[in-house]
Structures are given as C-alpha cells and as structure tokens.
Structure 1
C-alpha cells in the first residue's frame, strides 16, 4: 500500500479537504445515472482517512433511490468533491478535485469500471469509453 496525503477542493475553493489515498490501488468510474451525468471519477477511502478542512456550511446533500450515498456538493460552485456512505463508513473522493495531479499521472491511474446503472458493482458495463 502506498498511501499519500492529497489535498482537494471544489471549483471555487469554499470546500477543501485532505485524504490519505492509495491511488495506485485503483480508482472507479461508474455508469449509474449520477456518476455518468457528472463524470464522477472516484477513489474510495475509509472515513478515518478523510478530513474536511473547510466548507461544511457550504456543502449541500443530494440523495436518491436507495439513499445509501450522501452526494455532497458545494452550494456556491456546484462541484461535488466527494460523496459519503449514509452510515459514515466511507468516502468517495472525486479524483478530479485533487490538487496537483499532472495529466500524465491521471492518465496512468488504474480504473475499474462498474455497471452501477444495473446494480452490477462486480461487472463492467459493455461500453466504458464515455465514462
């Protein structure tokens, strides 16, 4: 495991966080309705490896369907820097909101595609190029 501490933020900077993430362990792209529409690219971390530094008062929540995930977004700029399990156990950090990752590093990250649109978290969708 190669944990590194990354800082991240929403677009306007009102919401800021840091998280200890092993990006080489893999990232996820999902085709469920919200991930596909927002192009959410995530890295999972346990809740104890995530620290919200600023912006709790700026964050809004969105939940739908089974309500298992609190989709947190900045009420100023609309960017979703992370989501969290409703039970508080884990955080889905937006890889795109992490500061300082060069395009070459982003391109080299391992990605697992999941078919969330059909609740198939163990299988990739037939088409992934748009994710």
Structure 2
C-alpha cells in the first residue's frame, strides 16, 4: 500500500510504500518529547515529494547516527533516517504525519530507549 504524509504546513511531503502493521513508541529523551509513533521501512520505500531545501532541518544528537528530519517552518518531525545494524538505510516514519490512517488501530510496541 502507498501512503502519503506531510508535516503540518506541507513543506515536507512524502510517500511511503508498505504495510503499517506496528509502530514503536520510544521513551528516550527526544522521542518522549516529540511523541512520535515510528514505523520502520527500508529508506528506498520512502520518497520525499517536495523539494529538499533550506526548510528541511536535521537534528543529530548523542552518537550522531540518526538524522531526525523536521520542518523548520512548522516544527513537525516527519521521519528519521539511519542505517540498521547491517548498514542498510532505514526510514523511521512518524505515522502521526500520514494521512487517512486510524492511529488507534495500529498496534504499538513500547521501547525503553531511555535505558540504552
């Protein structure tokens, strides 16, 4: 299935292919504050459909491995990008930014990132 999503103002819009069968809620210092529900897909299954320009912000912290992508206009975190343990590019999509899905029907796994 192909999904469309965006930040609040629409300056970062994307399409992602796959099946949302689970989301992850992490309690690390950044995820807890953002409140994201993350769906992990190979980065090749996600396409940014708006121009990647100076409006796209990238935040790196801790080990500087995960690129936390956000809109500099509205502040919404759309996704993150990082390699998986085998080195394959992965996108962590904030499913709260995807249009037309029923969030309460997506099973959520809670991850203790605070302890890692």
TM-score in terms of structure 2 length? 0.91
Please tell me whether the aligned partners of residues 9 and 16 of structure 1 are also in contact (alpha carbons under 8 angstroms): yes
What is the CA RMSD across the aligned residues, in angstroms?
A: 1.3
* 33, 44, 47: which one aligns with 1:37: 33
Bigger RCO (CA 8 Å, 6+ sep):
2
CA change 1:88–1:71 in 2 (3 A) is farther
Range moving further from structure 2, 5-14 or 78-87: 78-87
Q: Given the alignment of the two structures, is residue 8 of structure 1 paired with residue 16 of structure 2, yes or no? A: no
Match of 2:96 in 1: 96
Distance 1:88 1:51, change over 3 A: farther
Which segments of 5 or more consecutive residues in structure 1 lack a partner in the other structure?
A: 120-131
Gaps spanning 5+ residues in structure 2: where? Answer: none
Which 4+ stretches in 1 moved above 6 angstroms? none
Residues 21 and 40 (structure 1 numbering): CA distance in 2 closer, same or farther, change over 3 Å?
same
Counting matched residue pairs gives: 112
Correspondence for 2:75: 78
- The answer as to whether partners of 2:5 and 2:13 remain within 8 angstroms in 1 is yes
- The structure whose Rg is larger is 1
Give the Cα–Cα distance (whole angstroms) in 2 for the partners of residues 88 and 21 of structure 1.
Answer: 17
